[in-house]
Chain A
Amino acid sequence: MATRTRYAPDRGLTVRMTATMFFLGLVFVAFVAALIGILVATKQSAGLIVFVAVVFGGGAAFISLFYSDKIALSAAGAQVVTPQQAPELHGIVDRLCALADMDKPRVAIAPTRMPNAFATGRNSKNSVLCVTEGMLQLGLTKDELEGVLAHELSHVAHKDVQVMTVAGLLGIVAGLLVRFAFYSELFGGGRRGGNNGNAALLIPLIMLVSIVVYAVSFVLIRMLSRYRELAADRSGALLTGHPSALASALQKVSGSMSRIPNEDLRKAAPMSAFYFAPAMKLTRGGNGPGGDRLANLFSTHPSLEKRIEQLAKIQAQLNDTTPGAKGLR
């Protein structure tokens, strides 16, 4: 059956995301190779600290993934609500899940004045979708709220928590290695240095490699996070068929966020990666375009302009009347 589709995938986004993940994998392989190389060259068995770092990092990542729903809910102070308590919210989620043919996540409300939403959980059965009270009181129309929820449901469908946990593993391990190497230098360095001339070189080398890996993977992970946000925007807009409602919700949410005092925002910063809109804007390095570019590089979310531009493209795609149209790009 040759039914035409109006839901063409975004090739550019796919390519950029694949490239980012490829480089992340490359950094990982290079990291392992460099560690082995250093250990072999210095004829040292510092395997223990590497092993401990991997176990600790992996363990921490696994725990945070496994309990991601509980951790996120308690960090946000959110309560799971029943359909009787929040009929409107449940009604929208019910319908979206039926449209997308996915399992319905639990729905929670967080008593925060900052308007935002997030979705988390280790799999579709254990996921939870949380909306802040600020979001519900922002005066969004139902279409706009639906757009926000569709964006969050897309995060669940794309398994973003799992993907970002795996992607973040490298950074965690490298970060731990820096710390371990630093402490062993501090406390055990002198003793070992007496035995072997090479050993004095070992710890600083591991530190250096780890720092580089940490920095590179940090930038790559942030990049990946921005692409996943764009992908969630895209899937969410296609699901509801109302890209402009999502765009106006984005505008309202980020507009009202900048008016709210910083104190609240800083508290929410660690959760930022899973939020609908970034909780805290990074300090802008100057007014020039270069400063903006630097801030964008470290941001977990794409700029508002970029997100709205993409949604405008989707809108055009959905309304394309030329037969066999494949969309704009």
Chain B
Amino acid sequence: MGFLDVLLGRTKPVQPKLDDLFALPSAAIQLQAALGFTPTGSGSVCFRAVEGKTFADIQQEVRELLDTDNSRPGGAGGLPVEVTKDSFGYTWLISNHMSDEVDTLVTDLHAVNSALVDNGFGPQLLCTMVAFADESHRRMALVYLYKRGTFYPFAPRDGSGQQRDNALELQVKGVLGDDLKIEPDLTKWMALWGAPGL
């Protein structure tokens, strides 16, 4: 924020950075090779829906777009897009694919992003999450923060309330440090308890 913005008490809504999301497929390969984590095929976009019909219409459009996309021949097998609202009022659009189709998944997620940005709702995008699991069913997600254009890992521990597996998260950070822009400020590694698709 500039000096003038401070003086006049206004905030410019932050536009999302979208391009770095495409680094995800190569990072997924790296993650599998180094730590044995494979994508579950589930990915989601999380945004804060704006009240009113305009936004609801756009959201519906995006959903239909993704659904028709998935059911086309040679497409991803017709798994529909799920929409859920979390307890904080944020909307999650969840796209499900086969686990080896990270490319298509990222394309799907990008379609949601660009639809919102094109309609002027880019500042409402919060994060995107791609879920991973290893053979012992440990869960982990790579979360992309739109406003910063960086990734961070989020690994909830099983059954112990709201506990994060920080060791695993830091391991992932070490492995992917060269492939992905990992968020350097650890305080921004927001906990996403009960995130759908994880």
Co-complex (A, B):
yes
- Smallest CB separation, A246 vs chain B (Å): 11
Of A7, A18, A160, A227, most buried by chain B (CB within 10 Å of CB) is: A7
Contact A98 B9 (CB under 8 A): no
Task: Establish whether residues A319 and B88, one from each chain, have CB atoms under 8 Å apart when the complex forms.
Answer: no
Known A-B contacts A242-B50, A319-B52; A231 and B10 likewise in contact (beta carbons under 8 Å): yes
Minimum Cβ distance to chain A for residue B115 (Å): 12
| A17 close to B147 (CB less than 8 A) | no
A24 to chain B, nearest CB (A): 12
Q: Tell me which residues across on chain A come within 8 A of B49, comparing CB atoms.
A: 241
Complex CA–CA separation, A158 to B55 (angstroms): 27
Say yes or no: A98 contacts B10, CB within 8 Å. Answer: no
Interface of B is mostly: loop
Please tell me which one of the listed residues A3, A232, A318 contacts residue B50 in the complex, with CB atoms under 8 A apart.
Answer: A318
**Partner-contacting stretch, out of A59-67, A99-107, A191-199:** A99-107
- Residue on B nearest A104 in the bound complex, by CB: B187
| Given A21-B7, A235-B11, A95-B90 contact (CB < 8 Å) | yes
Measured CB to CB, the residues of B under 8 A from A are 1, 5-15, 48-55, 87-90, 117-118, 120-124, 126-127, 145, 147-148, 162, 187-188, 190-191, 193
Instruction: Give the residue of A5, A18, A99, A146 whose beta carbon is less than 8 angstroms from that of B120.
Output: A5
Produce 1/0 per residue, A304-318, CB < 8 A to B: 000000000001001
- Pairwise interchain contact A238-B13, C-beta atoms closer than 8 A: yes
Q: Return 19 A-B CB contacts under 8 Å, by A number.
A: A3-B15, A4-B120, A6-B121, A21-B7, A95-B48, A98-B147, A98-B188, A99-B124, A99-B126, A101-B14, A158-B5, A163-B6, A234-B10, A238-B13, A241-B49, A242-B51, A242-B89, A243-B51, A244-B51
A18 and B8: CB pair below 8 A?
A: yes
Contacts A6-B120, A7-B123, A99-B126 given: A240-B48 contact, CB under 8 Å? Answer: yes
Task: Chain B residues near A18: list those with CB within 8 A.
Answer: 8
User: What is the distance, in angstroms, from A183's C-beta to the closest C-beta of chain B?
Assistant: 36
Report the minimal beta-carbon distance from B31 to chain A, rounded to whole angstroms: 23
Closest Cβ of chain A: how far from B6's Cβ, in Å? 5
Complex CA distance for A232 and B187, rounded to whole angstroms: 25
5 residue pairs, one from A and one from B, having the closest CB atoms: A231-B9, A241-B50, A101-B147, A319-B52, A158-B9
Shortest distance from the beta carbon of A95 to any chain B beta carbon, whole Å: 6
Q: Is the CB of B11 within 8 A of A157?
A: yes
Bound-state Cα–Cα, A318 to B122, Å: 13
Judge whether A95 and B190 touch: CB under 8 Å. yes
Q: Indicate if A94 sits at the interface (CB-CB under 8 A).
A: yes
Complex-state Cα separation, A143 to B120, whole angstroms:
22
Query: Is there contact, CB below 8 Å, between A14 and B8?
Result: yes
Binding site for B on A (CB under 8 A): 3-7, 9-10, 14, 17-18, 21, 83-84, 87, 91-92, 94-95, 97-101, 103-104, 142-143, 146, 154, 157-160, 162-163, 227-228, 231-232, 234-235, 238-245, 315, 318-321
Closest to B117 in A: A3
Asked whether, in the complex, the Cβ of A320 is within 8 Å of the Cβ of B54, the reply is yes
In the complex, chain A residues whose CB is within 8 Å of the CB of B11 = 100, 154, 157-158, 235, 238-239
Known A-B contacts A4-B120, A91-B88, A101-B147; A17 and B52 likewise in contact (beta carbons under 8 Å): no
> Which of A6, A94, A99 lies at the interface centre, i.e. has the most chain B CB atoms within 10 A of its CB?
A99
- Kindly list 15 other residue pairs between chains A and B, CB separation below 8 angstroms, not including A21-B7, A319-B52: A6-B120, A7-B12, A14-B8, A14-B10, A18-B8, A91-B191, A97-B188, A98-B147, A99-B14, A101-B14, A162-B6, A163-B7, A235-B11, A241-B124, A318-B55
